[in-house]
């Protein structure tokens, strides 16, 4: 008989043979044959993202986020807690149109009186042989004269005007007519005054809120638009006359203004000296 080898030798051979077999499979997988197609499960080991109780596994499979402590009791943000924060949504101050123009002016001052050195300094810095005077381009860095978009305030301090002031239009108060119409900043019939919140609450308590709501949607007649004083003398009408553009004046004020200008005193339209008696 043949003598059997020890079990350790057989295991060593089997492990060695298996390694060679796996190496051959890996080599075949590295250079697949394009004519052979097959479907099989992926044998690649997938990473495990769950927490593991064993300490022997690879720690790279676990996901963890750690932060290094600064060992300081101060807040992470600035010490002034953002009190001096600047507006960073617009173009940077060093790159906006105003900064480009200021740099161009400095370069023009340096090149003034010198010969062209054939050096390209950018599209905004070509040498200008004639200095602009009495123009916005000549003093676009002084006062409110600026080039390009106006810079917003760096610090978040907005200047706001709330249009809740019940100002009365002087022209409408004296003559009953305002040439600005809806664009007038004061209160006229075309733009009624805003009611304060306390007034609305008082009307609700007294049951008067919304009682005269239908009157706000009534269509007024042309007679209600007639002013009650003359535009020129600001007094009561005396033998009123009306122009073709439907503006009313005193019978003596209209011809007197016609001697100075042939146009209407209110709308500046040509009247041709026609003043009809108002009915």
Name the pTM for this structure: 0.29
Instruction: Return d(Cα 121, Cα 111) in angstroms, integer.
Output: 11
Residue 14 lies inside a defined structural domain of this protein: no
Residue 134 lies inside a defined structural domain of this protein: yes
pLDDT tens digits, 203-255: 888 887 777 666 665 655 555 567 778 888 888 888 888 888 888 888 889 88
Instruction: Return d(Cα 11, Cα 46) in angstroms, integer.
Output: 29
Instruction: Indicate which CATH number applies to the domain containing 253.
Output: 3.30.40.10
CB 248 within 8 A of CB 240: yes
Is the same domain home to 149 and 188?
A: no
Which residues constitute the domain of residue 197? 170-211
Is the same domain home to 91 and 155?
A: yes
Query: Residue 241: beta bridge partners?
Result: 249, 277
The number of folded domains in the chain is: 3
CB 250 within 8 A of CB 233: yes
* Spans of the chain, pLDDT less than 50: 16-24, 26-27, 190-192
Residue 129 lies inside a defined structural domain of this protein: yes
Exposure pattern of 262-273 as b/e (b: 16+ CB <10 Å)? ebbbbeeeebee
Q: Determine the pLDDT at residue 186.
A: 74
């Amino acid at each position: 008989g043949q003598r059997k080898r020890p079990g350790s030798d057989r295991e060593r051979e089997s492990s060695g043979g298996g390694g060679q077999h796996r190496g051959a499979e890996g080599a075949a997988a590295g250079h697949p044959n394009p004519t052979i197609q097959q479907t099989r499960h992926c044998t690649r080991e997938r990473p495990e993202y769950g927490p593991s109780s064993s300490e022997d596994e690879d720690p790279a499979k676990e996901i963890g986020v750690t932060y290094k402590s600064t060992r300081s009791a101060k807040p992470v943000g600035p010490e002034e807690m953002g009190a001096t924060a600047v507006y960073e949504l617009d173009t940077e101050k060093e790159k906006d149109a105003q900064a480009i123009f200021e740099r161009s002016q400095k370069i023009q001052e340096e090149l003034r009186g010198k010969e062209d050195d054939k050096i390209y300094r950018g599209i905004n810095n070509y040498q200008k042989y004639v200095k602009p005077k009495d123009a916005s381009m000549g003093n676009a860095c002084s006062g409110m004269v600026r080039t390009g978009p106006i810079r917003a305030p760096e610090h978040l301090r907005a200047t706001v005007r709330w249009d809740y002031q019940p100002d009365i239009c002087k022209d409408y108060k004296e003559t009953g007519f305002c040439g600005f119409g809806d664009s007038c900043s004061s209160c006229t019939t075309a733009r009624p005054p805003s009611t304060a919140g306390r007034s609305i609450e008082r009307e609700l308590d007294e049951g008067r809120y919304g009682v005269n709501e239908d009157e706000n949607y009534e269509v007024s007649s042309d007679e209600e638009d007639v002013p009650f004083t003359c535009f020129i003398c600001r007094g009561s009408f005396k033998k009123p006359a009306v122009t073709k553009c439907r503006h009313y004046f005193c019978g003596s004020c209209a011809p007197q203004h016609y001697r100075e200008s042939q146009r209407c005193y209110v709308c500046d339209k040509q009247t041709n000296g026609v003043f009809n008696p108002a009915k």
